[in-house]
Structure 1
């Protein structure tokens, strides 16, 4: 797989769709797992990967919605190798059950599921819910699936982050807002920074297993993810930013999964199907990646803290 954008062989950008990204790519015989694949950009990510001939697993909380999505993807792609499994990222038992039931190598893992700006919620372990679902659940999933990823020989992990990472680095002294008052925006930002740092450190730690990873900003897409926003704020944002379609929003995920050049020393954060610029502050609320999300020391520390939390739960 090559970085078509950097070589000039394809003009992928903000308006590209996920299906355009995979045109001409054949992944028959390979397997992919997409979390949160029954709504939003997860559906279009899974559809595009299925269109390559890959075997695609939709990991979802709502099995009925997952079954409907799988049927639609089979019908639109002609690929019958689309299945549905249960996954609740807030429940490590669910995460471990999925990993225990996985058979064979896993070539592509797309950590797509997420929640945003929720009211203060906690898992049974006491973890703040956005950090638990967006980061720790995916961290636990990738760690548990490490043998399957290593068996692939050239596995990729795609971490769906957000420009929201700009609102907060990792609050190592108060990860779960046990000391400070809960702030949903900071909690979301921290979890999205964690997605980028996870990808950075996974690539470093698992390089010998030929496992690579990168994070991305899908763009401004109006989906069920914003259901917790104030309605007036949401309406104003939609007027200001018309946004991408889900198919366009999934394009960068699919680009990272199939075309980007990944590895130690390569860009760790993509937007609009190309590496994002490192900026001192997010541009127009959407563009760029902040240095705190690419800090290798923070990445190492977060990995160690995450491993301890997951092991103790």
Structure 2
């Protein structure tokens, strides 16, 4: 267990007036987004698709990166102002090519949402040998944001939303062995590490970016039955209450944690565009509110709140340096 620096982000709720039943549409707060440009990874399924829809219907131009164009085009058909581009977060050359195409368009980037992700997958590695959950959920997005940095600065007021999870409570980042080269692989610990990394990325990006008007947030959307759960067995889902008596996958009831897709996308949209968060950043949010900081002593595991290791400034800086080393990509800030 690492010690954690006391200098942390200001994890203090702001009494937003929203809550767990708020929908993404409501979380926008009536904001008009005409003239704004957004990129939403994972923007053609689940929470990403709902985020795309709400931002686009508010007037934003939304670029949706996809590995499979046909699937993405079918998903976003009928949503106004959506463009699709080729991107594979496990492929560094694909990330660079996507970002380069966007930069060549000369447009600013007002909203960048890192929504794509994988969860609890069997051990797999990318072409560099990096563990797939860390590579997809964190490193790929780190590289994408680094390459798009000139467009984020150009916006003169941009927000980056990193979709983390309460799963960050499973594990902190193991800086000695982030890619499971020397320890036994555990799919949930690996997922937790990647989600902690998502939160720490927002801490450090916000610190580095605020002088340029770039603010960053991390989000726990809630538990929602989406394609993210495709690698889980029926037994695992049953233990989560995600299979009914008829054997159908899906949450039949909702509570503060179990949400519909419009509710699950609400905190993402809130962080992406709501004016309540103007001049704020570097915080972990859930239930359309800045989350409480809670101790990582096990007593509150699985409860709302953010653990110290996911908002620690020293860990955030350390992860940033590690990510630059692993990707070979530096932010030219």
> Does the alignment reach a TM-score above 0.5?
yes
**1:158-307 alignment to 2 at 5 Å?**
158-238=161-241, 242=253, 243-259=258-274, 260-261=276-277, 263=279, 266=281, 268-281=283-296, 283=300, 285-307=302-324
Report if aligned partners of 2:43, 2:115 keep a CA contact under 8 Å in 1.
Answer: yes
Q: Distance in 1 between matches of 2:221 and 2:240?
A: 16
Report if aligned partners of 1:220, 1:286 keep a CA contact under 8 Å in 2.
Answer: no
Q: Distance in 1 between matches of 2:87 and 2:329?
A: 20
**1:62 shift after superposition:** 2.0
Structure 1 pair 150/267, CA: closer, same or farther in 2 (3 Å)?
closer
Report if aligned partners of 1:46, 1:56 keep a CA contact under 8 Å in 2.
Answer: yes
In structure 1, the residue matched to 2:44 is: 38
In structure 2, the residue matched to 1:92 is: 92
Q: How many residues align?
A: 300
In structure 2, the residue matched to 1:6 is: 14
Aligned partner of residue 285 in structure 1, secondary structure: coil
Q: Which runs of 5+ in 1 are unaligned?
A: none
Structure 1 pair 173/284, CA: closer, same or farther in 2 (3 Å)?
closer
Q: Distance in 2 between matches of 1:120 and 1:184?
A: 7
Q: Distance in 2 between matches of 1:263 and 1:212?
A: 8
Cα deviations across residues 174-223 of structure 1 (Å, max 9, x unaligned)? 01000001111111000000000000000111222111101010001111
Q: Distance in 2 between matches of 1:40 and 1:24?
A: 23
Cα deviations across residues 10-46 of structure 1 (Å, max 9, x unaligned)? x311011111222521110010000011111010011
Aligned equivalent of 1:59, options 55, 61, 65: 65
Q: Distance in 2 between matches of 1:226 and 1:286?
A: 20
Report if aligned partners of 2:50, 2:265 keep a CA contact under 8 Å in 1.
Answer: yes
Aligned equivalent of 2:75, options 33, 52, 69: 69
TM-score normalised by the chain length of structure 1 = 0.91
- Which one scores higher on RCO, CA 8 angstroms, separation ≥ 6? 2
Aligned partner of residue 227 in structure 1, secondary structure: helix
Report if aligned partners of 1:213, 1:262 keep a CA contact under 8 Å in 2.
Answer: no
Aligned partner of residue 306 in structure 2, secondary structure: coil
Cα deviations across residues 39-74 of structure 1 (Å, max 9, x unaligned)? 1101001111011101111112221121012213x2
Structure 1 pair 176/25, CA: closer, same or farther in 2 (3 Å)?
same
1:147 paired with 2:150, answer yes
RMSD across aligned positions (CA): 1.9
TM-score normalised by the chain length of structure 2 = 0.86
Question: Higher helix share goes to which structure?
Answer: 1
Q: Distance in 2 between matches of 1:236 and 1:178?
A: 30
Report if aligned partners of 1:70, 1:84 keep a CA contact under 8 Å in 2.
Answer: no
In structure 1, the residue matched to 2:247 is: none
Aligned equivalent of 2:126, options 119, 123, 126: 123
